[in-house]
């Protein structure tokens, strides 16, 4: 339904907001108390709105109010104005307040030490009143039932009803110590790796699989790990000690690889690109702490590592 008078006049959003709050509160006096506005002003604003529209929005009695047919139709749009006002007010008040409280996040063990611990410490240095509870686990947590604010997971993702945002793309690297490589002939293709002790990031060490890409070629090998553990810090130490050949995320600091004398081997064959997602429950009004941490993660990771998706030939 379109009213000519609406098209011809420039309606004030605040009058629609007053209308929505009167309906929400159930009376002019209750709406006035919530808005800190005299009842006479509330009544006048609504009367002016009805005059501009040329139609009645509410039927009044001494005890109650009732929406007219037109009022019910316009209420839906008036509520949108109310939501905008509340959102803007929340943003303004949040930005003037200090971030505080407890933030609960779930992170994969492969990235906890080298990525998320530094991110969290940096965030807490900027916001000292924020406490963080970081849960390191391979499994996919249920954010709602387990009380998490954020979860970080590597893809592909199942449809969980959560809001998912990709925040980082990276590759794993095939590494070994210089001393170990001096004792063997350098492998040239994935199948050559099966002749050497292989160290895998794995929870169940019975068998591991590595997939490689080279231009349009794809190869995968399955093997029984010489050493398997679900901790990249321990794996880095083992590789530096000459335990064999293993894979590490490329976001492990280069200083560690240099200090441990780890070198990349068989660079012509690459592991597939990994993608890290940030998941959270949908919310129109996230807390200031959650909003700031999400912005912090996106800002810090956006320039951390650009993956070259062109395969080496």
**CATH code, 128:** 3.40.190.10
Strand partners, 151: 106, 279
Q: Which H or E run contains 15?
A: helix 13-25
Closest listed residue to residue 223, CA positions, set 248, 240, 202, 250: 202
Q: Which of 25-34, 76-85, 180-189, 204-213 has the highest mean pLDDT?
A: 180-189
Residue 53 lies in domain:
4-95
Q: Residues 139, 204: one domain?
A: no
E-only strand ranges, 208-265: 208-214, 217-223, 227-229, 245-249, 262-264
In a domain, 312, yes or no: no
Q: Residues 72, 202: one domain?
A: no
Among 136-145, 215-224, 228-237, the least confident range: 136-145
Q: Residues 88, 119: one domain?
A: no
Q: Residues 80, 10: one domain?
A: yes
Q: Give tens-digit pLDDT for 186-206.
A: 899 999 999 999 999 876 667
Q: Residues 124, 70: one domain?
A: no
Q: What pLDDT, on a 0 to 100 scale, did the predictor assign at position 195?
A: 94
State the chain's mean pLDDT as an integer.
81
Q: What's the total number of domains in the chain? A: 3
Q: Residues 8, 90: one domain?
A: yes
In a domain, 310, yes or no: no
Of 95, 127, 160, the one marking the end of a domain is 95
Order of strands, sheet of 172-177, starting from the edge strand that comes earlier in the sequence: 227-229, 198-201, 245-249, 172-177, 262-264
Q: Residues 8, 89: one domain?
A: yes
Q: Residues 49, 32: one domain?
A: yes
Q: Which residue has the tokens 């997602």?
A: 277
**Taking residues 103-122, what's their average pLDDT?**
85
| Residue of higher predicted confidence among 177 and 274 | 177
Residue 3 — very low, low, confident or very high, per pLDDT cuts 50/70/90?
very low
Q: Is the pLDDT of residue 271 over 60?
A: yes
Q: Give tens-digit pLDDT for 251-266.
A: 765 445 545 588 999 9
In a domain, 81, yes or no: yes
Q: What percent of the chain has pLDDT over 90?
A: 27
Of 95, 111, 133, the one marking the end of a domain is 95
In a domain, 239, yes or no: yes
**Cβ atoms 59, 46 nearer than 8 A:** no
Residue 6 — very low, low, confident or very high, per pLDDT cuts 50/70/90?
very low
Judging by DSSP bridges, how do beta strands 198-201 and 150-154 pair with one another?
unpaired
Q: What percent of the chain has pLDDT over 70?
A: 81
Residue 214 — very low, low, confident or very high, per pLDDT cuts 50/70/90?
very high
Residue 76 — very low, low, confident or very high, per pLDDT cuts 50/70/90?
confident
CA dist., res. 245 & res. 225, Å (int): 10
Q: Residues 279, 158: one domain?
A: yes
In a domain, 283, yes or no: yes
Q: What's CA 156's distance to the chain center, in Å? A: 15
Q: Give tens-digit pLDDT for 14-60.
A: 788 888 888 888 888 888 888 888 888 888 888 888 888 888 888 88
Q: Residues 178, 162: one domain?
A: no
Who contacts 10 (Cβ-Cβ below 8 Å, separation ≥6)? none
Q: What is the CATH number of the domain that holds 201?
A: 3.40.190.290
CA dist., res. 307 & res. 310, Å (int): 9
Of 70, 95, 120, the one marking the end of a domain is 95
**Cβ atoms 284, 268 nearer than 8 A:** no
Can you state the angle between helices 39-53 and 13-25, rounded to 10 degrees?
A: 120
In a domain, 230, yes or no: yes
**Taking residues 117-145, what's their average pLDDT?**
87
Q: Which residue has the tokens 């009143």?
A: 129
Q: Residues 176, 260: one domain?
A: yes
Q: Residues 8, 88: one domain?
A: yes
Q: What is the CATH number of the domain that holds 55?
A: 1.10.10.10
**Taking residues 141-153, what's their average pLDDT?**
83
DSSP, collapsed to helix, strand or coil, labels residue 28 as helix
In a domain, 43, yes or no: yes
Closest listed residue to residue 251, CA positions, set 310, 305, 297, 307: 305
CA dist., res. 247 & res. 230, Å (int): 12
Contacts 24+ apart (CB under 8 A), 47-55: 48/15, 49/11, 49/12, 49/15, 49/16, 49/18, 49/19, 52/5, 52/6, 52/9, 52/11, 52/15, 53/3, 53/5, 53/6, 54/3, 54/5, 55/3
In a domain, 39, yes or no: yes
Who contacts 305 (Cβ-Cβ below 8 Å, separation ≥6)? 168, 169, 170, 250, 251
| Residue of higher predicted confidence among 184 and 313 | 184
Q: What pLDDT, on a 0 to 100 scale, did the predictor assign at position 310?
A: 40
**Taking residues 198-220, what's their average pLDDT?**
87
């Amino acid at each position: 339904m379109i009213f000519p008078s609406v098209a011809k006049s420039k309606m004030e959003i605040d009058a629609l907001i007053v209308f929505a709050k009167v309906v929400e509160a159930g009376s002019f006096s209750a709406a006035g108390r919530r808005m800190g506005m005299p009842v006479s002003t509330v009544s006048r604003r609504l009367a002016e709105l009805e005059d501009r529209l040329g139609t009645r929005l509410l039927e009044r009695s001494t005890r109650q109010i009732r929406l007219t047919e037109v009022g019910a139709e316009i209420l839906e749009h008036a509520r949108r104005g109310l939501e905008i006002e509340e959102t803007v007010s929340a943003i303004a008040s949040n930005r003037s307040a200090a971030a505080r409280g407890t933030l609960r996040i779930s992170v994969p063990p492969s990235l906890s030490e080298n990525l998320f611990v530094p991110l969290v410490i940096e965030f807490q240095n900027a916001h000292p009143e924020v406490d963080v509870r970081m849960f390191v686990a391979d499994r996919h947590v249920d954010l709602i039932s387990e009380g998490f604010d954020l979860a970080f997971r590597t893809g592909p993702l199942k449809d969980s009803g959560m809001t998912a945002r990709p925040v980082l793309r990276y590759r794993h690297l095939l590494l070994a110590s210089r001393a170990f490589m001096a004792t063997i002939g350098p492998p040239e293709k994935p199948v050559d790796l099966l002749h050497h002790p292989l160290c895998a990031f794995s929870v169940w060490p019975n068998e591991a699989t590595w997939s490689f890409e080279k231009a349009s070629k794809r190869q995968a090998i399955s093997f029984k790990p010489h050493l398997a553990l679900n901790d990249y810090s321990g794996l880095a130490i083992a590789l530096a000690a000459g335990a064999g050949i293993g894979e590490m995320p490329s976001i492990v600091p280069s200083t560690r690889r240099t200090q441990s004398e780890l070198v990349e081997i068989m660079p012509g064959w690459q592991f597939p690109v990994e993608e890290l997602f940030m998941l959270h429950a949908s919310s129109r009004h996230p807390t200031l702490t959650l909003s700031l941490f999400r912005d912090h993660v996106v800002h810090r990771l956006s320039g951390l590592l650009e993956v070259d998706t062109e395969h080496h030939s």
